[in-house]
Structure 1
Amino acid sequence: MRGTPDPDGKQSAGREADARTVIPLLMPAPHGPLAGVEIRRPGPSGPHWNGSRAALVSGAGGAKEDFLPLMHRLAEAGHRLFAVDLRGQNETPGLDDPAAYGIDALATDMAVAMTAACARKPVHLVGHGAGAVVAATAVVQAGSRKRFAPSTCRSLTLVAPCWDGPMTAGDAQSADWERLVARQHRGGTMTDERRAVIRQRLARSHPMSLRHLASAAAAPDLVAGLRAEGIRILVVGGAQDPLVPADRTRELARQLGARHSVVPGAGHLPHHDNPDALAAALNGFWAEEGVAEMWQK
């Protein structure tokens, strides 16, 4: 796997990172391996470990490293966390075939990769932005048995989901990706250190991946498909998100029959802006009794 975790992710987690095991991953998938990272407490962790696992998927202009502050906090609660770069995103190599970047293809790749990483154990699935659409599509794919997928999905969390494709096709053609990513940050601004990280990330991402994720939107039947699966869903919005305002996430939660949570002091990146609040919301959601285990063998 090329590179190392982004420095801003490590620094955001502070000294907490020293008490965790951070493992770079290269996970097999139909269109080629996906780069990922696992964070967990030190100790037994083989395939027969029966604790809580969660898989996290980022969206347009994002990367697995954006989740590091959140992952370190969730690891403190005893979860094992896996984050992934999708096809052509950040450290995952891209292809020159547009078909590899369709939502269905991205969802299948992600599901296969996480099956391997999680040893076919139950997993809580978390998607951000366009990655939320990818994660939701993987749930419906698995339910219809049209694609290979993990044996069990315990829950689905949609963080600032780009359900209606808030980055337009016109934006996706723009060369000013740094400006587009800045829109995702609270107040539309980034520190110089964060800007350097984003520039490096964008430089190694495949242009097709950026364009497809930026213009991604949920299929018309995705809400109905998720409701039919009966999976427990949490929809999370950032209180100061200019791309996906909290009233939109609230309405999506209503349509899905899902729980809804708003992260204070957060823009489009709650896991970056306020990881403590998002970790508390996820820990509470995952700890509730009666979690339905879907995607049975």
Structure 2
Amino acid sequence: MSRPTTFTPPPSAHARTLPTARGDFAVLDAQPTDNGRAAKGTALLLPGYTGSKEDFIALLEPLAAAGYRAVAVDGRGQYETAGPDDQQAYAQAELAQDVLAQAESIQGPVHLLGHSLGGQIARAAVLLDPAPFRTLTLMSSGPAQISPAQQRKVKLLSDALATMSMDRVWEAMRALDPPEDADAPQDDGEDLRRRWLRHNPAQLIATGRQLTVEPDRVAELAAVQPLPKHVISGERDDTWPVPLLDEMARRLGAGRTVIAGAEHSPNTDRPAETAAAITAFWDRQGQY
């Protein structure tokens, strides 16, 4: 689970509802901090499994300072975006269509970035229609299904969600995976708990299943041209091994960045370095 250090947006961002043709989505919308110039571009940021738009809070200020508008979104059934109880509503194709609608609402073309599960949803959206997207960044998001160890964890979670309340599952998860910093403020844990309780369990079960069966679609994505692509990750990752991400970048003909000192969530582990790498990639594509 991603653990953002804060749930408070920076001064450059405000929480709002993004209306689209496929419903309303909760977003954090960060505008460039230099109000005297137009934005270099607009980015759409998709969170990972069990995550939310808050996972990108530490990136929003440096992205805005670099001249980019950044819109971090809760997908359907994630945290502050409502979703139905039907697992079919969270099929990957449905979530990809949501991304296309979000891009249309924020008036693309946009720089699309997806973390982990969000990267595979971003890939699916691009394969449906690449036209709304200026670039694609896959952050800690691999070519196919997650590692066997992570598959086992997702199955345990899905089995628990099928029989237990969200509150009971939360307590079990905290017992198995306590915060790394025992001195962390208790309200941080409460923020995480509140976010967890507002996720729709049908979304977690459906997207968890996707992570365990996702096929390798790298060749399909590589064929989407011209679309600049970037693969970014930490130097360690137990969800998709880093050498697998290296090989995926090679197959895609994509730029590759490894963030020193970061693991599966470079957006929260090393946000300044991660934002610098992302904006450098976007800058190389030029303004529009």
Query: Shorter-chain TM-score category?
Result: 0.7 to 0.9
Shift of 1:248: 2.1
Q: 2:275 aligns with which of 279, 283, 291?
A: 279
* Cα deviation digits, residues 26-84 of structure 1 (max 9, x gap): 33242x32211210135379xxx663111100111100011011111110001000111
Q: Cα gap change, 1:94/1:253 in structure 2, threshold over 3 Å: closer, same or farther?
A: same
Q: 2:29 aligns with which of 29, 38, 61?
A: 38
1:78-227 maps to which residues of 2 (within 5 A)? 78-117=67-106, 119=107, 121-143=108-130, 151-162=131-142, 163-166=144-147, 167-168=150-151, 169-173=154-158, 174-175=160-161, 176=169, 191=184, 192-217=186-211, 219-220=214-215, 222-227=217-222
Partner Cα separation in structure 2 for residue 272 and residue 37 of structure 1: 16
Partner Cα separation in structure 1 for residue 7 and residue 133 of structure 2: 27
Partner Cα separation in structure 2 for residue 193 and residue 273 of structure 1: 19
Partner Cα separation in structure 2 for residue 196 and residue 160 of structure 1: 26
Q: Which residue of 2 aligns with 1:148?
A: none
The letter for the 2-side match of 1:112 is A
Q: Cα gap change, 1:7/1:187 in structure 2, threshold over 3 Å: closer, same or farther?
A: closer
Shift of 1:197: 1.7
- Give the stretch that moved more between structures: 85-94 or 211-220: 211-220
With structure 2 as the length reference, what TM-score do the two structures score?
Answer: 0.82
- Contact 1:182/1:190, CA 8 A, preserved across alignment: no
* Cα deviation digits, residues 71-116 of structure 1 (max 9, x gap): 1111000100011111100001010222210111001012102210
Kindly indicate whether residue 30 of structure 2 is the aligned counterpart of residue 24 of structure 1.
no
Partner Cα separation in structure 1 for residue 229 and residue 146 of structure 2: 20
Secondary structure of the 1:38 match is strand
Partner Cα separation in structure 2 for residue 140 and residue 185 of structure 1: 38
- For the aligned residue pairs, the C-alpha RMSD in angstroms reads 3.0
Q: Cα gap change, 1:188/1:227 in structure 2, threshold over 3 Å: closer, same or farther?
A: farther
Partner Cα separation in structure 2 for residue 219 and residue 7 of structure 1: 30
Partner Cα separation in structure 2 for residue 98 and residue 214 of structure 1: 11
- Give the stretch that moved more between structures: 69-78 or 261-270: 261-270
Q: Cα gap change, 1:182/1:39 in structure 2, threshold over 3 Å: closer, same or farther?
A: farther
Shift of 1:238: 1.2
The letter for the 1-side match of 2:95 is L
- Give the stretch that moved more between structures: 58-67 or 91-100: 91-100
- Contact 1:182/1:189, CA 8 A, preserved across alignment: no
With structure 1 as the length reference, what TM-score do the two structures score?
Answer: 0.79
The letter for the 1-side match of 2:119 is A
- Contact 2:141/2:240, CA 8 A, preserved across alignment: yes
Q: Which residue of 2 aligns with 1:62?
A: 51
Q: Cα gap change, 1:193/1:215 in structure 2, threshold over 3 Å: closer, same or farther?
A: farther
Secondary structure of the 2:247 match is helix
Q: Cα gap change, 1:196/1:235 in structure 2, threshold over 3 Å: closer, same or farther?
A: same
- Contact 1:128/1:160, CA 8 A, preserved across alignment: yes
Secondary structure of the 1:34 match is strand
Number of residue pairs aligned between Structure 1 and Structure 2: 268
Instruction: Give identity over the alignment, percent.
Output: 32
Partner Cα separation in structure 2 for residue 90 and residue 68 of structure 1: 15
The letter for the 1-side match of 2:209 is S
Partner Cα separation in structure 1 for residue 145 and residue 109 of structure 2: 29
- Contact 2:229/2:255, CA 8 A, preserved across alignment: yes
Q: Cα gap change, 1:252/1:185 in structure 2, threshold over 3 Å: closer, same or farther?
A: farther
Secondary structure of the 1:60 match is coil
Shift of 1:215: 2.8
Partner Cα separation in structure 2 for residue 248 and residue 258 of structure 1: 14
Q: Which residue of 1 aligns with 2:243?
A: 247
The letter for the 2-side match of 1:24 is R
